[in-house]
């Protein structure tokens, strides 16, 4: 299949890893059209103004930041979507894909894929109440694809503006190879745009997904932590241009990450998490970085910078 228009590139919302400091870092490097918050959990009897207080659509400027909601109550989620629009959100998304037991145990996230009627009611009420586009990010299913066709159709029937499909089941987690044939099937069945997600590990893989599935847009999550230049590489590949990563741009963005992460009371955990991805191609350096007994977060920062000395070799090789 041939892509007819240039796809939009999305940074996936990722709980924990995709925190605001990480999104700011990647926005400083650029190459993608839009990012999204981690899911905002809407519990029972929520005080919505408090839950939504920290959302800022301009936090990653010049790249816009959409908002993602997670929950099970249609009325509360619809009201939350409307409030986010008032705060400047240009798009509000429902999380229907998170595989975490703490989320699915309460019927939210990917568990909604086993309750299509509830999923439809949530999306329908969000669309009716929210004045900006509402979208859904789903997986193929929970244990299997039993409700796959019903779920993708109800996303469209509810009035959503886009479906993002992470081409794995909840049971697959993140390790099973993504099943792109389901993205192709969604594209065949739906009139709304379909955004493909899963195993886009390089510019070549991005072009491959576009060709094999015909999807309209692409979303990338964990690979953007391993290779923050992935979006710029894809943009270059789409334009049939060569790309070479700019070390100065990378380190400027990394400095921005540390500027913001140091405002946290305990930044060492997020620093180690980012380092584990950036050093993924260097297992010895990665292990040494993660197991070092840091006494301060400044020491962790210095150790990461030293460990990144060989960082650009694999990036240049795959450019």
Q: List Cβ neighbours of 54 (8 Å cut-off, separation of 6 or more).
A: none
Bridge partner list, 166 = 139, 197
Do 17 and 225 touch, CB atoms closer than 8 A? Answer: yes
Bridge partner list, 119 = none
Helix (H, G, I), strand (E, B) or coil at 70: strand
Tokens of 127: 């669309």
Q: How many residues does the chain have?
A: 319
Rounded Cα distance between 47 and 69, Å, is 14
The single-letter DSSP state of residue 37 is: E
Rounded Cα distance between 146 and 26, Å, is 37
Residue with tokens 């969604």, as numbered in its chain? 186
Which entry of 96, 98, 130, 215 is annotated as an active-site residue?
Answer: 98
Report which secondary-structure segment, H or E, holds 187: helix 180-189
- Establish whether 98 is a catalytic residue: yes
* Strands annotated E in the chain: 9-11, 35-41, 65-70, 92-96, 134-139, 162-166, 194-197, 217-220
**Which residues does the annotation mark as catalytic?**
98
């Amino acid at each position: 299949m041939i892509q007819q228009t240039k796809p939009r590139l999305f940074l996936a919302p990722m709980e924990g890893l995709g925190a605001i400091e990480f999104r700011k870092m990647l926005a400083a490097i650029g190459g993608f059209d839009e990012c999204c918050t981690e899911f905002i959990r809407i519990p029972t009897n929520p005080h919505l103004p408090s839950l939504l207080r920290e959302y800022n659509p301009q936090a990653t400027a010049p790249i816009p930041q959409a908002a993602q909601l997670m929950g099970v109550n249609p009325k509360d989620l619809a009201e939350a979507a409307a409030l986010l629009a008032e705060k400047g959100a240009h798009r509000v998304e429902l999380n229907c894909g998170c595989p975490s037991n703490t989320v699915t145990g309460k019927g939210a996230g990917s568990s909604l894929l086993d309750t299509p009627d509830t999923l439809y009611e949530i999306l329908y009420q969000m669309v009716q109440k929210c004045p900006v586009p509402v979208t859904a990010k789903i997986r193929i299913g929970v244990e299997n694809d039993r409700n796959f066709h019903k779920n993708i159709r109800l996303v469209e029937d509810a009035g959503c503006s886009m479906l993002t499909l992470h081409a794995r089941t909840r049971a697959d987690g993140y390790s099973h190879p993504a099943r792109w044939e389901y993205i192709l099937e969604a594209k065949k069945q739906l009139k709304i745009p379909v955004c493909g997600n899963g195993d886009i590990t390089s510019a070549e893989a991005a072009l491959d997904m576009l060709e094999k599935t015909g999807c309209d847009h692409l979303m990338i999550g964990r690979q953007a932590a391993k290779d923050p230049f992935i979006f710029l590489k894809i943009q270059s590949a789409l334009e049939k241009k060569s790309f070479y990563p700019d070390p100065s741009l990378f380190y400027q963005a990394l400095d921005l990450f540390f500027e913001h992460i140091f405002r946290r009371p305990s930044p060492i955990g997020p620093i180690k998490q980012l380092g584990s991805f950036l050093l993924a191609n260097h297992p010895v350096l990665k292990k040494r970085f993660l197991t070092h007994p840091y006494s301060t977060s400044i020491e962790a920062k210095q150790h990461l910078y030293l460990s990144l000395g060989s960082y650009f070799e694999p990036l240049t090789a795959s450019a």
